[in-house]
Each structure stands twice: as structure tokens, then as C-alpha cells.
Structure 1
Amino acid sequence: MESTNRNWSRRQFMGSIAGAGAAVMMNPFSSWAKSPVDPTVAAIIAKTIGTDTHNHMDVPFNAEEFKTLQYDLFGEMKQSGFSAICMTFCVDRPKLTKMGEAYERFILSLDEMDEMLKANKMKRALNLADLKEAHKKNHPIVVQSVEGGHFIEGKIDRIEVAYQRGLRHLGLLHDGQSLVPLGDIYTNPPHFGGLTESGIEVVKECNRLGILVDLAHCSNEGIDDALKISTKPMLVSHTGLNTQLGSNEKMAQMMMPRLISKEQAKILANAGGVIGVWTHLADSPTVYAKNVRAMVDVVGADHVCIGTDSKMAPPSNSNERFGRKTNLTWGDGQEGFLYYVVDAMLKVGFTEDEIVKIAGGNYCRIFDAATSV
């Protein structure tokens, strides 16, 4: 593996990110919170481009149904404290049955998200400069993400189509196998011994174009294969340590195949990668902060981020199938997600510098490295 990602100066990068918000004494997003915000928490959030590296924005595979739905993405993001989310969708639910179906769903979803962003007066970030500019203007922004390369269907040129539509974050695999398989999924029996030739080709094309590759849902062998051939840093956007199982035994058993071992986490971090900690096994902000701490203790504060695997703005006039809001992860969400998390991180002993990295700086670093071509 080439070492281009290792030569990145973390100190210089973090200095530039922190400096962009140093003049802001209070986070301008805090005025959207439903209850008073601790000034210390608000000031820390103001210093970083707070980013949720895996947040679902589900849209229906039905253009007429989409016209009836309302998404308050702008308002929910303002309340959350995040400057950016990796706006993620998938096309493998319901199960794909024929060639061409995944691509049709993919293009329709992008069309619908174009309309959603327009209605919310928001845009996609194509590079780090876009993230920094949005943060400077106190205006939420999204990184367009898809979970699973099903839409490619063996046609590598479709990745460039996706790139031209604003995709900058590609999750290689998801729950359902692609009709042209890309590799072993960690919740399914292994068949390929890691990535397939098609999967390897996708990683290389993403490197060439400038798309960040997300290895969540890949088997350990698949992660190792990707690390061998990628010239850019990668991430696993949403997981947790397999030693941090929480108090809900049923949930822990269900999530165990999706958790990462300390050994595999170190392999990814040593290659310059970043690991997102999700909320599924944390029943409070404090438990979540402790789960983040456990990951940091294994790989270091430069290799951890926030990847909630939640939904920022389910349509307000829909049924429950669209899921629960990020800001309602714990309780009534009076302060917004990131405010709860930063407060809890301070209470369990994180320093301000560590929080700035984990809350967004680390993702921004690898996003910049991946999208710079």
C-alpha cells in the first residue's frame, strides 16, 4: 500500500480546522437548541466542523410518494450541532431481483435528494473547501453518501456518473449482496475470501476520481484487501468495539457481527484510517462517550469519529417506517445530539483537542485526502 495518507500532517491540519472557528466564541447553531446550552460545550462545537459520518436520509423509490413528504433537514441539523452529515441512502431494501433495478433506484434517490436539498436551501460538499466554507457561514451542508455499491452492477463507468452527481462517500457493501458481488459482507457466510475483482476495481476507481471509500459491512478479509490496494485513507463509518456491548443483551447479540475487534481496528488505524462509533449499544450520552473512549484507547484520538447510523430528518408527515430522529437518540433531544455528546465527553475526561478531532476533524482530514486528486 502506498503511504500517501501517512504523510499528512495532523498537527498542521488540525490547526487549520480549529483556526477557522477560533474567533467564534459561541456556536451559532446553539440558538436552535430547545434548552440553554453550556457555553463551554458550545465553544468547543464552534471550533470543529462537527460531522456525523453515517446518517441515513431515506427517500422512497416512488417519485409520487416523495412529493407528499416533507423533510426539515436544515432545522434538524441546526438543532443537532452538526455542521455536516454524510447523507446516506441504500438501494438494496427491498431485495434486488434483476439487473438495472439498483441503478434505477440509485438515480431516482439522487433526483429526490436534489429536490430535498433545494427545498432546504442546502448543497453537497464536494471537497474540504466546501465543508470549511459552510462552517464559516454557519450553514449546514451534506456529504453525499451511498451504502453499498449495488448500483454499479459491473459497470465501472457508473462510479463517474455518481461522482458527477455529487457522490463523495461510497460504502462498498451493505446488508444485501450486489448482483455483481463486490466482496464478503460481515453478516453473511463468506464466499470470496475478501473482496472480489469487481470490488478491488471499485476501490481503485474511487481513488482515481476522488471518492472516500467506507469499509463498513466488509469482512475483516475484505478490509485487509482494500487496505492493500488503496492509495487513499479509508474509514469504517459505523461500528463499535466488540468488547463494548452495553446493557441490552438482545441488542448486543444482534449487533455482535457488526462490531470490530481491537486487532482489526488497529490494522485500519495503522493504515491511516478512521473508525466511527455508533449509538446502537449506548443507552445514554455517558455510555456513548465511554464507548468512544474505549475506541480511542485502542487506536488513538486521531483515528476515531462519530457515525451514529441514525436518521437526521425522517419526513415529518410519514409513518414510523422512516425511523427515529438523531436528535431523539436519548430522551427528548432538548439540546441536540452533539451538545449531549460533547458534554458527556468532557465529563468522562476527554480534552478539548481530542473532542475537536473526534467530532469532525478526523473525518475532514481523510475526506480531504480522499477527494484531492
Structure 2
Amino acid sequence: MIRQNFLVCLLFLLLINSCKEKPSSTDSKAETEEELVARALEIHKKVLTLDTHADTPLRMIEPGFDMAERHDPNETGSKVDYPRMKEGDLDAIFFAAFVAQDIRDDDGNTRAKALCLQMLDSVIASTKRNADIVGLALNPDDAYALEKEGKRAIYMGIENGYPIGKELSNVEEYYNKGVRYITLVHSSNNDLADSATDPNGTEHGGISEFGSKVVGEMNRLGIMVDVSHGNDSVFYDAIRLSKAPIIASHSNARSITKHERNMTDEMLKLMAENGGVVQLTMLATYLRDTPPNAERDSAMAALRANMKPISEMTDEERASLRKSFQALNEKYPNPPATVEHVADHIDHIVKVAGIDHVGIGCDFDGGGGIEGVFDASEVMNITIELVRRGYTEQQIEKIWGGNLIRVFKEVQATAKQLQADQS
């Protein structure tokens, strides 16, 4: 009996100690949603936030468009301006001069180059006019220096190698203007490479012979090689040809959303081996699967078939086109893409390639803009969702800017070495 009482007492004491070692839920206060958001916004403000892809130069060549004014995206279609960058705490951005694919002859190439230079010059002029709030950035550390000054860093890229034409010397001319990445191809094949979406299929089997020379020249100068929009063979060729890490300025994960513009797991693993980075984009089609909608597809195709190039439209024609697209979206709605979809792709790329090989490239003013991240003023919602999923400040810093800056530095270091070897 005494032994039995002893055992009962011992069990009772062990139970008390166990309760002391494990605090009850009332002892530890769970983080509220308001506290989580506040913590996320603090992280967002602290880290360098860099968006690697916006087609805003197309807006900047519109007569009367002022980047220093805040624009309503629902009224004008504009997704980026300097006030909204500040609202969203977006520290730096790559403005991509986009030239749609046209006839590949001397006249077409000349027109493409002229339009590209016009857009690059418009970016440069805008940074000079607004030097109190933004600065033209040319090197990786410029973003951090401008951030310390309380200014937004404006980098430049080219989307679609078409304006290079057949002249290799154009690559250096664009570099001297300030271009720091070139997307080799867009929605149709060009003289450099094959597109992932050309309806006629492949032409070069990846990167052409001339495109290979362009990649070499980009390596020599310190321009990042961007494989977004290229078909799978372009990716593998770029990995093989480039002496520096490559980027995908606005691409997602194909395992999450089956789209030819997205990257397979094999590609993601190779990107990690290469040391490159994949920048997640806010384009709904690449973020979530779309149910078949033949009527919508037909209506959209008919509208695009009758479109003039945007650069040739009057203000009234642009406004009319926006209304036509809005009307079609209302008549044939697609399910929205959300910030959760963005985080799903980030989670997958981190799982496959690692935290050092993912970033953000929203594609604002080029089709990007989803529920919760409709324009530059809402990019902090990405950070909030990442915090909600358990990402640390250090990881978020890598995703938002650190990874791209690392690649940028390695590209410049490779260029310096190549130039030293040639001298």
C-alpha cells in the first residue's frame, strides 16, 4: 500500500513538472493578423525591393504621360509611376524597352532600333527631370546608394532582341545607353532565337549562330542574358553558351501552371547549378490554370488582329482599346490570379532550386497585375504573404532583390575578366 501511494505521488509530481515545462496556450500570445501585417511591412520597408520587369517605357513615350504623377490604373491602364512606387515601397525597377516583333529586314530592323532608342531616351530624360526622387542606375550597388538617399533606382533592359537586328555593334550601343539585360526573344522568333509561343514553331533549334555571338558580346560587356519568352532549347543553349549566370526576368514554374512560358523542374535545377535566378511574374496566365473559354479566346484574337501597334495609336485609340478589353473581360471573366498563387510558385522554386534562385519580375504595363498586386502600390502584399508562410527576413531579402543583385555582380565580374583576357 505504501509503495502504491508512493507511485501515485511520483506520477503526480511528474505531471506537475510536465505542465511547468509546456506552457499552456494562455501563457503564449499568438500573433494576430494585424501584428503579422505590421511585421511584414517593417521587413518590406527594410529590405531592398527590386522588380526586374516592367514595360513602362511604352507609357513614357506617350505624349503628356508624366511619371511624377499618380495615375489611376482602372482609368488609364498604367500600373507604374513614381508615386505608386513610393506607396508600395518598391525601391528599384527595371524598365524594359519592348519592341514587338515585325518584319525582319533592314527597314524593320531600323524602325525597331529607332523605337528602342526612343524608349531608352525617355527613361533617361524622366530620371533627369525627377532627379530629386529617382536616379538612373547602372551598377548593382547603385540601388542601395539611391535607397539611402531616399530615391527610387531606375534600371533599364530591352525585351526582345529584335532591335539588335543583324548588327552586333548595336549591343554595345545599347549598353552605353544603360541597358543591363536583354530578353533574347519575345512572342515570335527573331534573328537571335526561337520563341516559346511562335505559332510556326522553331526556326533555329534554340539560339541562332548570330544569337550565340550576341550572348558572347553581352558577356563581354556585362549585360545579363534573359531567357524569358524563349523556348526550352533557348534556355539550354543559353546555359551552355553564357560564361556568366543567366536570368529569367519574368517566368514561373511549369509544374504549378502548365504553360510553355514557364520553367520545368529540370530547368529550375539547372538554373541553380548555373547560379542564375528566376523572377516570378504577376501575369495571371502563368500563375494559374485557365479553364477553356473558346468564346473569350475568339473575341480576344479578333480584337488583337485589328490592333495597330500601340506606339502608333492616338490617345483616343488607346482609351478605346482599353475599354474594349475591359468589356471582353467583363463579358468573359476568367478566375482571378492571387498573391497566394504567386507564393505557391515561389514555394515550388525554393523547393526545387533553392532560396538563392528566385526573385520578382511583375511585368507591370505588359500584362502583369493580379488580385492583390494590381499595380506598383500593392507589391507589399507579396511580402505579407511570404511572412504568413514563414519566410524569414533574410529569405525575403534574397527573393526581393538580393538574388538578382548577386547575379548582376557576377555578370559584371565575368565581363571584367573577359575584357582583361582580351587586353
Range of TM-score over shorter length: 0.7 to 0.9
TM-score (norm 1): 0.77
Could you tell me which residue of structure 2 aligns to residue 362 of structure 1?
Answer: 403
Q: Deviations over 1:256-315 (max 9, x none)?
A: 12111111111122111101111222622223212211111111100000111123xxxx
| Alignment size in residue pairs | 312
**Ranges in structure 1 where 5+ consecutive residues have no aligned partner:** 1-34, 246-251, 312-321
- In structure 1, the residue matched to 2:271 is 268
Q: Where in structure 2 are the equivalents of 1:292-307 lying within 5 Å?
A: 292-307=346-361
1:284 correspondence with 2:294: no
| Secondary structure of 1:170's aligned partner | strand
Over 3 Å counting, the alpha-carbon distance change for 1:60 and 1:347 in structure 2 is closer
TM-score (norm. length: structure 2): 0.68
Root-mean-square deviation (Å) = 2.5
Query: How many Å apart are 1:43 and its aligned residue?
Result: 2.6
Report the secondary structure of 1:295's partner residue: helix
Deviation at residue 206 of structure 1 after TM alignment:
0.8
| Counterpart residue number, 2:54 | 55
Q: Residue 334 of structure 1: CA displacement?
A: 10
SS at match of 2:346: helix
Q: Distance in 2 between matches of 1:161 and 1:107?
A: 10
- Indicate conservation of the 8 Å contact 1:171/1:213, yes or no: yes
Distance 1:225 1:201 in 2: 12
Change (3 A) 1:103 1:36: farther
Contact 2:44/2:89 (CA < 8 Å) preserved in 1? yes
Partners in 2 of 1:239 and 1:226 — Cα distance?
Answer: 15
2:93 is the counterpart of 1:100: no
Task: Report SS of the residue matched to 2:47.
Answer: coil
Query: How far 1:359 moved relative to its partner?
Result: 1.0
Q: Decide which structure has greater helix share.
A: 2
* Runs of 4+ residues over 3 Å off in structure 1: 35-39, 93-97, 331-336
Please tell me whether Structure 1 or Structure 2 has the larger radius of gyration of its CA atoms.
2
Is residue 262 of structure 2 the alignment partner of residue 259 of structure 1?
Answer: yes
Deviation at 1:347, TM superposition (A): 1.0
Match of 1:114 among 117, 124, 135: 124
Matched-pair contact (CA < 8 Å) for 1:275–1:304: yes
Q: Aligned with 2:249: secondary structure?
A: strand
Against the structure 1 CA distance between its residues 94 and 75, is the aligned structure 2 distance closer, same or farther, given a 3 Å change threshold? farther
2:141 aligns with one of 126, 129, 138: 129
CA shift, 1:224, in A, is 1.3
- 8 Å CA contact retained: 2:181, 2:225: yes
Give 1:89 shift.
2.3
Measure, in 2, the Cα distance between the counterparts of 1:44 and 1:267.
30
Q: Percent identity?
A: 27
* Cα 1:260/1:335, change in 2 over 3 Å: closer
**Partners of 1:348 and 1:37 in 2: CA distance:** 11
Q: Is structure 2 residue 93 aligned with structure 1 residue 85? A: yes
Q: Give the conservation status (yes or no) of the 8 Å contact 1:60–1:109.
A: no
How far residue 39 of structure 1 moved from its aligned partner, in angstroms, is 3.4
What is the one-letter code of the residue matched to 1:275? V
Change (3 A) 1:331 1:261: closer
Q: Distance in 2 between matches of 1:336 and 1:298?
A: 30
Q: 2:84 aligns with which of 76, 80, 91?
A: 76
Provide structure 2 residue ranges, at least 5 long, that are not aligned to the other structure.
1-33, 69-80, 289-336, 417-423
Q: CA deviation at 1:212?
A: 1.1
Alignment of 1:160-171 (within 5 A): 160-171=172-183
CA distance in 1, matches of 2:147, 2:35: 22
